[in-house]
Amino acid sequence: QVEVIEKRCLDLFGRDYKFSIIHNANGEVCGHYPRQIVYLEYQCTDVDRDGFESSVQISKLQDLVNRSKLARCRGRFVCPVILYNGKHICRSSTLAGWGELYGRTGYNYIFSGGTDDTWTDSEDVPQEDTSVRNGDSQLFDKVRGHDIKLLRYLSVRYICDLMVENKKVKFGLNVTSSEKVDKAQRYADFTLLSVPYPGCEFFKEYKERDYTAEGLVFNWKQDYVDAPLTIPDCFTQNLHIDWTRYQSWDLVEQTQNYLKLLLHIINSDDDSGLLVHCISGWDRTPLFVSLLRLSLWADGVVHASLEPAQVLYLTIAYDWFLFGHMLPDRLSKGEEIFFFCFNFLKHIVSEKFSAVKKQRRKNSTVRDGHLIEEDFCQIKSKDRGSVTSLSSEFSLITGEVGGASSLTNDSVDLFCGQPLTSSWSVAHINRQARLEAVREVFLAAYSTTVGLKSSAPSPSGAISGLLEQFARGVGLRATST
């Protein structure tokens, strides 16, 4: 059941962190976010705990979340997911456009009986001369003002936008916006980076090329692509990357360089956090959140006590499944961004991607532990969330109650083998061995459940069984959790 997945995620977070919970029990905050959203406060093993201890009050954070959710597409608000040296790495969707914003506010007003506390705030955003402001601008001031308050409360300064568009356009309408084209420049106090990255549709070509990313270059000349690469000079000078050539990079080089950039950002500022988002925040966003989490884990600076199968479980279950990635839908279309993410670990094993530049580790071999995967237990579940992507067909979502809480699974199990037997501390295992071990576990589990190049034509065929098992059935045996 989903409750089992959530419980195991909380257990794995709790092995290294003190955390609080942002409550989303019935999907009332966001229907495709976890029902128990983890807010990491500090590492349990911090010697200098006072230096990193959170100044955030969870009740205040919950209030800001409730108020800011309308500002972003599908209500996917700014959510902290990784804690690194006291700084929060966050995820979200992009900013909502006027159509979605008016639809949601009207819906909420009607079904709240004519009251909506999203608009009641003792600390209102200062208003300019309303005599020259139209209603649209005032509404955006209010909603995006709450979003900005949440960003500041989480000490986020850097915003990395993965969209290849300035605004998502469907049928001639702007269905989403983004910080970089906010006309009132409300986000001017933040450091905005436009790092356009292909959407999930592009990964159909990855599958068609026998899962080979080398030599696969995105077509930047398509009509809808209008977001240029924009990175402040302070981040480009030290990376030794020719950013002017980004349109000639293949998928491997582009992903590597973007990951290097994100790692450089979080290491360049001792106090400020980072937000990463795409359009809806459930394809490209978890790709880079997962790569960040696993790269930092391989350096021993996050989730230090977790073994390969455990950190893989946490990443799949939390970063992808509980945050609404629709694996059966993506697989039915051949858009294998999920597989690409974990297979890509082989391309970031180098020390060039290490966040711990001053500590060069000695090479060592992987211990003779057991990395055994059997198979998934059969489960039955309803698909959660909409399978309609803004990238394929426009839909205005006006209600999101239920979400993950509506799912019922008979049983869940992913890595059903013997528990890992040895310590995976950085002192014994190097970065390359750790990432290769994670990839090995993933490939073994994936090949026995989802498999590659399924010939099933649709989710209603043979694909529905094993694929939905993998989408819904991630877990670990109790003996290893």
- Is it the case that residue 232 has pLDDT exceeding 50? yes
What mean pLDDT is predicted for residues 396-400? 28
Q: H-type helices in 35-128, by residue range?
A: 49-52, 58-68, 98-111
Report percent pLDDT > 70 for the chain.
Answer: 67
Contact predicate 437/306, CB 8 Å: no
Query: Out of 234, 278, 341, 416, which one is annotated catalytic?
Result: 278
What mean pLDDT is predicted for residues 185-207? 96
- Is it the case that residue 376 has pLDDT exceeding 70? no
Is 160 among the residues known to form the active site?
Answer: no
Token couple for 145? 């003002």
Q: Indicate the range of 333-347, 361-375, 461-475 predicted with least confidence.
A: 361-375
Average pLDDT in the chain: 77
Q: Indicate the range of 165-169, 370-374, 422-426, 442-446 predicted with least confidence.
A: 370-374
Closest C-alpha to 415, from 300, 305, 292, 311: 311
Amino acid 171: pLDDT: 43
Cβ partners under 8 Å of residue 48, min gap 6: none
User: CA separation (Å) from 431 to 44, 301, 324, 359, 366?
Assistant: 23, 11, 29, 12, 11
Cβ partners under 8 Å of residue 317, min gap 6: 5, 8, 9, 474, 475
Q: H-type helices in 318-462, by residue range?
A: 327-332, 337-343, 431-449
Q: Indicate the range of 1-5, 136-140, 341-345 predicted with least confidence.
A: 136-140
Amino acid letter, 214: E
- Is it the case that residue 466 has pLDDT exceeding 50? no
- Is it the case that residue 204 has pLDDT exceeding 60? yes
Confidence of residue 122 (pLDDT cuts 50, 70, 90): very low
**pTM (predicted TM-score):** 0.79
Confidence of residue 7 (pLDDT cuts 50, 70, 90): very high
